[in-house]
Amino acid sequence: MPRLVSVATAVPAHRIEQTVAAAFARAKFAAALPDVERLMPVFTHAGIDTRYFAVPAEWFLQPHDLAERSAIYAVEATKLSQQACLAAIEQAGLAPAAIDYIIYVNTTGLATPSIDARLINRLGLRPDVRRTPIWGLGCAGGVAGLSHAYHYALAHPGARILVVAAELCGLTFLPDDMSTANLVATALFADGVAAAIVSGDEHAGPGLEILGTRSRLYPDSLDVMGWTVLQEGLQVVFAQRIPDIVRETAAAEIGDFLVAHGYAIADVDTFLLHPGGTKVLAAYAQALGLAADRLDLPRGVLRDYGNMSSATALFVIERHLQEHGFAQGGLGLVSALGPGFSAESLLLRT
């Protein structure tokens, strides 16, 4: 089976404490939201201590149009992606020329040529490398990218695929959007990049064996999560009922996925879930019948980095590898939710 052989991450230079973000939001939203103090606990309840951003704090005080945001994204995402990719390639013991296919995932920036083309030049990949940019899958995008790599490796067992998820969520902040959703996003979202390499069967060596993947789209749920494209930029959309949806659907969705591979929820040793927020993680724990500490690993990534959209799930996998390495012999579940409303999942031999 195809294997996930390395994961590496990168974050930008501007580190923001959650207390500083809360003070910023209180000052920013107070005039437009008379009940701002009632909403402020979202910052303390978010389970986040620190986050990283590609722009300094003062950038968030001024309006910026989509063109300016996109220009910043192209520069910063390319730089951070190069850093993460080189680390992932080095971890795998490869040369850049060994990469056969690059999949670039994002939702928070626009660029044509897409960032994967820039990376081919920066990394020194072969000029005949295949490439696919994937835009618009939000938080589920990183898992979807790994899924695409897995299916490509099944058909091309000699391939090595580089998956990059690069999100600069901070660039989507709209200073004139005084909605509750924007306030909540200010408490949660952050910037980060992750890169991973998936190898086909013809390549020996350590790695997390990918046993299968699953995609699920929930009908009539387009309003649950996403972005509205405005002249000023991307306006966040997410519904308060997301934890309720998780409680109502996660057991059946994940259970069906596992049953298709001959397993049950009780057989899973490691839950590598995208930490969309503390309420989402609590909803997963309730739905799956898990003790709270079974989700300490994704909770720790949320604490240290915030929600970095598609890159976050790969940060969770990286932390698992840092703590446990390869070849532990257990069963791992990776899952993330995204616009659509949708879910993407992977089953790993950890």
Neighbours of 83 (CB within 10 A): 16
> Which of 25, 298, 13, 37 has its CA nearest to residue 185?
25
CB–CB of 225/348 below 8 Å?
no
Strands 225-229 and 234-238: antiparallel
134 residue type, one letter: I
Question: What is the C-alpha to C-alpha distance for residues 282 and 266, in angstroms, rounded to an integer?
Answer: 18
- Strands (E) across the chain are located at 3-10, 14-17, 50-53, 101-106, 130-135, 160-168, 191-199, 208-217, 225-229, 234-238, 270-273, 331-338, 342-349
Question: What is the C-alpha to C-alpha distance for residues 67 and 130, in angstroms, rounded to an integer?
Answer: 28
Catalytic residue among 115, 134, 139, 258: 139
139 catalytically annotated: yes
Which positions are catalytic?
139
